[in-house]
Structure 1
Amino acid sequence: MTDKAAARLARATPEPVAKRIRGLSDRAIAWIFVAPTIFLLLSINIFPLIWTIRLSFTNFAANKPNAQVQWVGLRNYTRILTDADTWANMQTTAHFLIWTITFQVLIGFSLAWLINRKFKGNDLVTTLIVIPMMLSPAVVGNFWTFLYQPQIGLVNYAVEFLTGIPADSFSMLGPGGWARWAIVIVDTWMWTPFVMLICLAGLRSIPDYIYEAAEVDRASKWRQFWTITLPMALPFLMLAVLFRGIENFRMFDLVVLLTGGGPGDETLLASIDLKREAFEKWRTGYSSAYAIILFVTVFGLASIYVKALNKVKER
């Protein structure tokens, strides 16, 4: 802003307002700008959390607003933590988390390492690889549902080629344990580019002179990878695992679009089970306790993981 523009703006400000502004301290002006953000955070995040905690100790049902609400204490939490179906859903969620993160880290880091070598057509290949993560889950879900169809699905014919199982004798989205792996494949295809970009940033942050010094010491490429590349890219790898772990723990839309939470309970993740309890069975108090347990689980694991990440960065 030029001096003339600033002068015109000052003249346009009413004198009473100008006097009040000139009388404010820097701290007061800072609070004026920060206050709307704090208010939004309190109203959108903090208040619903406090309200959910309160509801978790009651038998409140959202479809019966006029019914008497009873205080049940820790009964909802006890029922959830002693329910065998809840633990089965947690195991399904853990299966999904472990395998998707494993595949995404291995494939994503490998792609980042290859792209970092800067070959001809590098930019085009990078653009093509990141396309899946730009698509919405609705598009990805419908696209892969088509690929998984028993009659025309390309995935079924690929499985037939690899295993000899006839393509029309099974469905990737049907019973038999295939549905879990179908979701793992789709999520890996969609979000591996995200992990690749984070790993690529880590690889390109390593100074070239470190590799030059290693070559002077006659270190092999394999030793350079294990003593330079991997240790220096490890914080970025761990950051990618943190982001994908939090995101996949609350995975909902992609699973519902592909399987609807079925067949049976094979793909019934904890987030889908929470949705059923809240909006199909209308056990609002029970589902509130369920949500708090999931929140504490994610928050606790993430806190421990962040401490480990900080220790790796300090090395």
Structure 2
Amino acid sequence: MTDETTSRVHTTAPVRLARQIRGLSDRAVAWIFIAPTIFLLLAINIFPLIWTIRLSLTNYRANRTSADLEWVGLRNYQRILNDPDIWNSMQATAHFLLWTLVLQVLIGFTLAYLINKKFRGNDMWTTIIVLPMMLSPAVVGNFWTFLYQPQIGLFNYVVGFLTGADPSSFSMIGDVALAPWSIVIVDTWMWTPFVMLICLAGLRSIPDSIYEAAECDRASKWRQFWTITIPMALPFLMLAVLFRGIENFKMFDLVVQLTGGGPGSITELTSINLKREAFEKWRTGYASAYAVILFVTVFGLASIYVKALNKVKER
């Protein structure tokens, strides 16, 4: 092949390719770009979910791959729903969810409301408040475990003083009544800045002209807060609750770092219980059914919540 022929091939090939692309419809071009993403979603999300549902209907054990696989149907689901330990972990998770969401929303919105007021050092204080959420949960867990230790833990001295306990031997994470609250405190300290940032975005999206019109109508600051600030910032508040609710329902690493799931089962959340069934007892089929139940619970509650959020946005 001569140099002239080679140059013709190189020049005509892109032209032919361009003509072929031009002949495609917009829908076909869109599918060409979307297809890799859809394939990744199917491979990473949908296929593992289908495989988990399949395993949940069997007695499969990951440490006994050579054993005969028995089809048990819905027996795993029945055992889970009738297991009192499962319901205790659900109750512990609900307690953790409720108080972390309440505290984080109240404190986060308060901080956002204060920071939204322009004052000297505004940016510096915002950066300082946001620092905890930049840390790794493992680092936070070890740091707060040190604070909860007897003799040197600051919280132990405060709680010991209030309850009359000896600070040299008292530990919040070792007390049955206070261990859940020790986790709530740490999670609130770490993730309240996240809620604050979302609330701050909501507050700064409110036009100043609305407040100016309310002042012209002689509305008090308190009335402006309840009739303008809260209603217009409510979708952002609900969005923060949705994000933190989903994340806290899956909470695992921070609890393990602080308490290891103890004392007893008082801090054994659903994620810790699921890990124990799957990787300590090696009941993979049972754990798969447990995971499916948790997924359906979160998905159902989140769907209902999103519908309520959309209704609030439409107002």
- Common fold by TM > 0.5: yes
Equivalent residues of 2:89, 2:273 under 8 A apart: yes
Q: Hey, what's the Cα distance between the residues in 1 that align with 2:181 and 2:81? A: 27
Q: Hey, what's the Cα distance between the residues in 2 that align with 1:210 and 1:31? A: 44
TM-superposition CA deviations, 1:159-213 (whole Å, max 9, x none): 2344443322321110322111110000000000000000001111111111111
TM-superposition CA deviations, 1:230-256 (whole Å, max 9, x none): 111111111100000000001011111
Structure 2 residue aligned with 1:179:
179
User: Where do 1:240-255 residues align within 5 Å?
Assistant: 240-255=240-255
Q: Hey, what's the Cα distance between the residues in 2 that align with 1:180 and 1:304? A: 28
- Per-residue deviation at 1:28? 2.1
Query: Is 1:262 paired with 2:258?
Result: no
Structure 2 residue aligned with 1:298:
298
Structure 1 residue aligned with 2:3:
none
SS of the aligned residue for 1:223 comes to: helix
Q: Hey, what's the Cα distance between the residues in 1 that align with 2:12 and 2:144? A: 59
Q: Hey, what's the Cα distance between the residues in 1 that align with 2:299 and 2:17? A: 45
Q: Give aligned-pair identity as a percent.
A: 78
TM-score in terms of structure 1 length: 0.93
Letter in 2 for 1:132: P
TM-score in terms of structure 2 length: 0.93
Structure 2 residue aligned with 1:213:
213
Structure 1 residue aligned with 2:5:
none
Deviates more, 1:241-250 or 1:154-163: 154-163
How many residue pairs are counted as aligned between the two chains?
A: 306
Structure 2 residue aligned with 1:72:
72
Equivalent residues of 2:151, 2:167 under 8 A apart: yes
SS of the aligned residue for 1:111 comes to: helix
Structure 1 residue aligned with 2:27:
27
SS of the aligned residue for 1:173 comes to: helix
- Per-residue deviation at 1:16? 4.9
Q: Hey, what's the Cα distance between the residues in 2 that align with 1:254 and 1:172? A: 15
Letter in 2 for 1:119: F
Q: Hey, what's the Cα distance between the residues in 2 that align with 1:215 and 1:301? A: 40
Query: Is 1:238 paired with 2:238?
Result: yes
Structure 2 residue aligned with 1:87:
87
User: Where do 1:92-171 residues align within 5 Å?
Assistant: 92-171=92-171
- Per-residue deviation at 1:299? 0.4
Q: Hey, what's the Cα distance between the residues in 1 that align with 2:119 and 2:166? A: 40
Letter in 2 for 1:106: L
Structure 2 alignment gaps of length 5 or more = 1-9
The RMSD of aligned alpha carbons is 1.6
Q: Name the CA shift for 1:117/1:54 in 2 (closer, same or farther; >3 Å).
A: same
Structure 2 residue aligned with 1:60:
60
- Per-residue deviation at 1:18? 3.8
Structure 1 alignment gaps of length 5 or more = 1-9
Letter in 2 for 1:303: S
Deviates more, 1:208-217 or 1:280-289: 208-217
- Per-residue deviation at 1:29? 2.0
Q: Hey, what's the Cα distance between the residues in 2 that align with 1:204 and 1:154? A: 37
SS of the aligned residue for 2:206 comes to: coil
Q: Hey, what's the Cα distance between the residues in 1 that align with 2:61 and 2:69? A: 8
TM-superposition CA deviations, 1:83-107 (whole Å, max 9, x none): 1110000000000000000000000
Query: Is 1:50 paired with 2:50?
Result: yes
TM-superposition CA deviations, 1:23-51 (whole Å, max 9, x none): 33332222121111111000000001001
